[in-house]
Amino acid sequence: MCVKGPAQPPNASASAILKFNEDASIDLIVGTSSFGQGTPTGLSQIVADELGLPIEKIRVALERSTDMSAYTWQTVGSRGLFTDGLATMEALRDAKSQIKEIASQVLNVKSEDLEIANERVFVKGAPWQGLELAQLVFGYTYPNGTSIGGPIIGRGKFMSRLTTYLDPDTGQGSPTIFHTFGATGVEIELDVITGKIEILKAAQAFDIGKAVNPLLVKGQIDGGFIMGQSIALFEEMIFDDQGWVLNPNLSAYRILRAEEIPREIDEIIVETPELTGPHGARGLGEIVMVSVAPAIGNAIYNAIEVNITKLPMSPENVWRAVKEQRADLIEEARRLLKERGGE
């Protein structure tokens, strides 16, 4: 089992700008960056769902610059979809309010009686009475040429109201905005003579609140397991007596190879909507690798009652632990191997 929340200072804020183009497509400007976790895709889906637009009409620029991007505290801590998602939701509410205000004047109805869906703004219960979004997002022009409104730009922000600093004396406080829970299970094969571990099967389950994009969630679960497996079994910085790194490149720094990935990784998505999150979502991010090493260590202990307390669980480290704690297993394995003719 594992639990993680994005520990951050109380002023770790985020913002979002939602800018319409003439064809009612949207540029969503946020500060959170993407390096494989898929946050911009999730944010695009939220915008598309809220405005009834095809996702192809939502663009999140991949470039990040303090000159042009909206502000976010950092792209860290599994916070991006949650914090920038909430800022995006506020920007959506701002934009929708502006759109409805213009449409209410054109259609001569109250703004609260209007809906936005399928690229249109229309009267509730009377979808035939409405306007195309493209007619409104740059202001509306009447047949006689007079106009109202103007380019729609939605603005949103997020600032946590729940987090506090930690008390320096007691350590008490509230440093996080949500908690994500999960679990990892593995089936392994261990050679007690060599200390080599092979992971035959793995399963990971996480309560992510609500899956905005289930395929991205599964990909992140798999990627996190593979990263966790690599850290658990192979990755190690080796230093000399003077503190110099002896393996500073990938020719000497051992990482997981494709042939060592389990043939089967089951992804279990649990959905208990987060009431404070965008569309019920909470962050996944880093937690997908948190319990991988403990799961492998527990599997070893369950099998042979050897407690591994050092990473990586390389063949040498595992063999040393077995020799120290259960030397009888090595002798028994050697005896059986000898009886079978050294097979």
Domains of the chain, first to last: 12-158 (3.30.365.10), 180-339 (3.30.365.10)
Question: CA-CA distances (angstroms) from residue 262 to 179, 225, 259, 284?
Answer: 28, 10, 8, 21
Q: What is the mean pLDDT of residues 308-332?
A: 94
Average the pLDDT over each of 110-114, 231-235, 281-285 and give the range with the smallest value: 281-285
For β-strands 26-30 and 58-60, DSSP reports them as parallel
List of E strands, 177-300: 180-190, 197-207, 264-270
Task: Enter the tokens of residue 186.
Answer: 């593995």
CB 140 within 8 A of CB 149: yes
Yes or no: say if 231 and 254 are a contact pair by the CB < 8 Å rule. Answer: no
For the entire predicted model, the pTM comes to 0.89
Exposure of 119 by Cβ count < 10 A (0-12 exposed, 13-18 middle, 19+ buried)? Answer: middle
Q: What is the pLDDT of residue 342?
A: 57
% the chain with pLDDT above 70: 99
Number of C-beta neighbours around residue 207 at 10 A: 19
Q: What pLDDT is recorded for position 33?
A: 87
Determine phi and psi for 81, rounding to 5 degrees.
Answer: -65, -35
- Among 199, 195, 167, 229, smallest CA distance to 308 is for 195
Decide: 231 and 293 in contact? Cβ < 8 Å.
yes
Distance CA 279, CA 84 (A): 12
The 10 Å Cβ neighbour count of residue 330 is: 15
Q: Is the pLDDT of residue 270 over 70?
A: yes
**Confidence at 168, pLDDT banded by 50, 70, 90:** very high
* pLDDT of 343: 54
pLDDT, mean of residues 116-140: 94
Mean pLDDT for the stretch of residues 282-296: 94
The DSSP element (H or E) to which 17 belongs, if any, is strand 14-20
For residue 125 the two structure tokens come to 């219960």
Decide if pLDDT at 58 tops 70. Answer: yes
Q: Under a CB-based contact definition with an 8 Å cutoff, are residues 33 and 75 in contact?
A: yes
